[in-house]
Amino acid sequence: MKRLLFTSIFLLALYIGTQAQTTHTISISGLSFSPSSLNISVGDKVQFNGSSSHPIAEVSEETWNANSNTPLAGGFSFPSGLGEKTFNMVGTYYYICENHYSSGMKGKITVSAVTALEDIPESIELKIFPNPLDKDYLTISLNRNPISTLEITIFDITGSSKIVKSNNLDKDQIIDCSDLLSGIYIVQINMDNNISSTKLVKR
């Protein structure tokens, strides 16, 4: 029963998280972006449907507030006015039309965490750190001993398994997460056929 409960919570979270991944469209209306302010979730994609008359460049908040046009180093840029970008980091992103910025043709995109995953509880028998993960290695400390079977799987929010580790029964599990992109993941731990799941944020 406990296994079924954790599995159901996990699958429901993955389903809701997958549904939250959507594509948003920003178009042009006169000398304005439509919408000029967009709220999305981590993992969502934004499609810019403009034209070469309205080249798009990401800028800093300071540049945006000053109605200036200095591009943000490493930011997105669509000289044709057409393009798409997937946003995997929480934050606010500012952009302008490079030809009409002085007329106030600019927009912003606010990216929030996928709230559907917030309610997944951590098992009281394990600790996962650091979380958020801003390094290459994740530590999972198991308080339960002895353990006869152990499998750790890390899924992205589409339900695709990215890392699988099994048969190592050490109390502290060190997981190499260097290949994971920034975003939200689900860590599923199967200890002796008892499944627990928790959210992991990779920065």
- Tens of pLDDT, residue by residue over 31-79, are 999 999 999 877 788 999 999 999 999 999 999 999 999 999 999 999 9
Listed ranges 14-28, 158-172, 175-189; the one with the highest mean pLDDT: 175-189
For tokens 């995997």, the residue is 88
**Confidence label for 144 from pLDDT (cuts 50, 70 and 90):** low
Q: What share of residues in the chain are helix, strand, coil (percent, to 5)? A: 15, 45, 40
Task: Give the Cβ contact number of residue 17 at 10 Å.
Answer: 25
Least confident residue range of 105-109, 146-150, 186-190: 146-150
DSSP state of 59: E
Domains of the chain: 17-112 (2.60.40.420), 120-202 (2.60.40.1220)
More confident residue, 94 or 117: 94
- Tens of pLDDT, residue by residue over 95-141, are 999 999 999 999 999 987 654 433 334 444 678 899 889 889 999 88
Inform me whether the pLDDT recorded for 12 exceeds 60: no
Cβ contacts of residue 173 below 8 Å, gap of 6+?
A: 139, 140, 141, 142, 150, 152, 165
Residue 23 CB-density burial (10 A; 0-12 exposed, 13-18 middle, 19+ buried): exposed
Inform me whether the pLDDT recorded for 5 exceeds 70: no
